[in-house]
Amino acid sequence: MADIKLRICLVICLIGIISASSVIPSAITHVASFIPDPSSQLSTTFYVTKCPLALQIIKEEITRAVLNDRRLGASLLRLHFHDCFVQGCDASVLLKDNATFKGEQNALPNVNSLRGYEIIDKVKYILETRCPNVVSCADILAVAARDSVVALGGPIWPVRVGRKDSTTANLNAANSDLPSPFLDLKGLIDAFKKKGFSAEEMVALSGSHTIGQTKCALIRPRIYNESNVQPDYRNSLKKNCPTKGGDNNLSPLDVTTPNFFDNAFYKNLLYNKGLLHTDQQLFKGGSGPLDYKVLSYALNPLLFKLDFANAMVKMGNLSPLTGYQGQIRKYCGRVN
Ligand code: HEM
């Protein structure tokens, strides 16, 4: 008798579990459709009443600094990218290691490589003096990236603001989610797909490498071992990047106009003058799946600028903290 009762009970439990498992997912999707996308809470007018001069102050400081040291513009654009690809655009990249977590600055793609922290701290200091506890470090990064590109002759795009700053950082995610310069095309496409970007958007965003520099250590395997490097270009690169030593020697990512945000990056690729292995992966001499995109940007600078601007808006919307989430850090390098 007890055995029969136990069996009946088991059957009832099983029916319960099966029906609950089919109801719960649809209930979750139903509720999820009512939860607004956090980026929809950002707005271009967020600081108009709270700190009316905020965006103007950022623009003035960044423009002055970038015109004084043009590479800084490249470094600030990259800082925003490396922020957004790791737990969203929340200024986690600016947090230094502390007793409770190891920050992202010592992750492989960032250490001895990311630049521009000081100018962000300076802008933050000015903003804290003007409007204490109002402007987030994540917003400063997003606006500084845009203003840097504009200062170097690139496109302008609307930056919606109102992001909050994280109270944590994620070293492991920085190591796993930021693309390595040794990836092949599939790896690149996958890395961007993971963040919601199409392969074509990845090509547009890679146009960032029309400004800035890279270290010898990262290009040595390419210039000494790969066949798709234009011969004169290879020879000139070898002079600045010997087989041994000189690991930190710099070469411009765009050999033709390194200080201007134009479409020369794509034109270079057509002639096997991509500097990073990953750059040249985008164009494979007519046989690659994204060659047509590279060609279209090489031929049409306006199309590149438009697509780049749209992709940057999308990047800036990656998982922001809004409302009561996160905090406005007083110092960008540490939590309050
Ligand atoms: C497609 C995958 C990408 C890879 C594998 C990659 C990799 C790299 C590497 C290895 C460097 C040189 C770092 C060094 O030598 O210290 C670099 C520089 C740079 N990257 Fe990327 N990157 C990618 C995409 C992007 C994106 C999406 C952006 C911006 C939206 C960006 C912006 C920059 C800029 C501006 C520089 C120059 C920085 C400077 O001179 O300080 N990159 N990138």
pTM: 0.91
CB 258 within 8 A of CB 213: yes
Q: Does domain 54-177 have CATH number 3.40.50.2300?
A: no
Does position 31 have pLDDT exceeding 80, yes or no?
no
Mean pLDDT of all residues in 105-127: 98
Element (H, E) at 277: helix 277-281
Residue 327 has φ and ψ, to the nearest 5°, of -155, 170
Distance of alpha carbon 14 from alpha carbon 170, whole angstroms: 40
Of 4 and 233, the structure prediction assigns the larger pLDDT to 233
Q: Is 254 annotated as ligand-binding?
A: yes
Phi/psi for 288 (5° steps) reads -85, 150
Q: Which residues pair with 250 in a beta bridge?
A: 215
Distance CA 160, CA 257 (A): 30
* CB environment 240-265: b (16+ within 10 A), e (fewer): ebeeeeeeebebbbbbebbbebbbbb
Tell whether 104 is in a known binding site.
Answer: yes
Report the distance separating Cα 135 and Cα 68, nearest Å: 25
Look at residue 34 in the predicted model and tell me its pLDDT. Answer: 57
| CA 255 to chain CA centroid, nearest Å | 23
For 217-267, write each residue's pLDDT tens digit.
999 999 999 999 999 999 999 999 999 999 999 999 999 999 999 999 999
- Give residue limits of the domains in the chain: 54-177, 185-314
Q: Which atom of ligand 1 is nearest to the CA of 250?
A: 15
Reported as type and span, the H/E element at residue 27 is helix 2-32
Residues in CB range of 295: below 8 A, 6 or more apart: 266, 270, 283
Q: In angstroms, rounded to a whole number, what is the distance separating the alpha carbons of residues 85 and 314?
A: 12
Angstrom distance (rounded) from CA 138 to CA 105: 15
Of ligand 1's listed atoms, the one at least distance from the Cα of 311 is 30
pLDDT digits (tens, 9 = 90+) for 118-171: 999 999 999 999 999 999 999 999 999 999 999 999 999 999 999 999 999 999
Please tell me which residue in 30, 80, 82, 277 is annotated as part of the active site.
82
Nearest alpha-carbon partner for 91 in 103, 106, 108, 73: 103
Q: Please tell me the distance from the alpha carbon of residue 68 to that of residue 58, in angstroms, as a whole number.
A: 15
Q: Is 270 exposed, middle or buried (0-12, 13-18, 19+ CB in 10 A)?
A: middle
75 lines ligand 1 (CB under 6 A): yes
What are 297's two structure tokens? Answer: 């940007």
Residue nearest to atom 13 of ligand 1 (CA): 214
277 is catalytic: no
- Check pocket membership of 77 for ligand 1, CB cut-off 6 A: yes
The predicted pLDDT at position 33 comes to 53
| 75: confidence class by pLDDT, cuts 50, 70, 90 | very high
Name the CATH superfamily, with its identifier, for domain 185-314: Peroxidase, domain 2 (1.10.420.10)
